[in-house]
Amino acid sequence: MSKERAKKIKVILFDVDGVLTDGTIWLQPAAGTGSHTEEARQAKADAGGYGIASATVIEAKGFNAHDGSGISLAKLGGLKVGVITKRISETVALRARDLRLDFCYQGQANKLNALADVCEKAGVEAAEVCYVGDDIIDLPVMRRVGLAVAVPNGRAMVKEEAHWITEQRGGEGAARDTIEYVLEAQGKLADAISAYIHERIERKDAL
């Protein structure tokens, strides 16, 4: 049943903490400020999000390289990719730019608003969207999309409502699992892998 749902997917969206990361949040001293000013952070926080508003503290996160490669495969397979998170972090903004994500929504207490915006911008129906979550804030979106995915380290209620659960935990390759699952269901995984390898060989030869 979940394979049939995966065949229709055109967009994959991820929560960040607990999905693209293992859920650990590091608060570290920082010299200077990032691109999020205190006013911008506070404005997003007032809308329901949460972020550290400080010139001396930065919120750091750890991301998995396998997930980054997976996002490259998703793009080669014709999928759009993005994140929706309640927290506000310059680290997430940097990672989103690094991976050239199609969508990056931070400060989202009501993630359904972000989902609706993604659907409008991508020209898709909710049934053509996959969402990967781990906690109860993700349930409204998971109940709306075509393919709801949970991670093994997610809350029990979230896993019960998911159409599919990844083999790898959040922060340890769960996003890669999801991307490969969708591409395989669509018969695109082998071609995406070939294109990924070929693209890198061409770059090396051009040097």
Confidence of residue 207 (pLDDT cuts 50, 70, 90): very low
For the chain, which residues make up each domain, given as ranges?
Answer: 2-24+62-206
| DSSP character string of 121-185 | HHT--GGGEEEEE-SGGGHHHHHHSSEEEE-TTS-HHHHHH-SEE-SSPTTTTHHHHHHHHHHHH
Rounded-to-integer distance, Cα 147 and Cα 177, Å: 14
Contact 165, 150 (CB under 8 A): yes
Distance (Å, whole) CA 108 – CA 44: 8
* 106, 87 Cβ separation under 8 angstroms: yes
> Residue 156 pLDDT more than 50?
yes
What pLDDT sits at residue 39? 46
- At 30, which amino acid appears? A
Give the Cα separation of 38 and 46 in Å (integer).
12
Assess whether pLDDT exceeds 90 at residue 166. Answer: yes
Q: What is the CA radius of gyration of the chain?
A: 17
pLDDT at 93: 93
Confidence tier at 152 by pLDDT (50, 70, 90): very high
> What's domain 2-24+62-206's superfamily in CATH?
HAD superfamily/HAD-like (3.40.50.1000)
> Which pLDDT belongs to residue 54?
55
Looking at residue 29, the DSSP 8-state letter turns out to be: E
Q: How confident is the model at residue 27, as a pLDDT? A: 78
User: Are 73 and 195 within 8 A, CB to CB?
Assistant: no
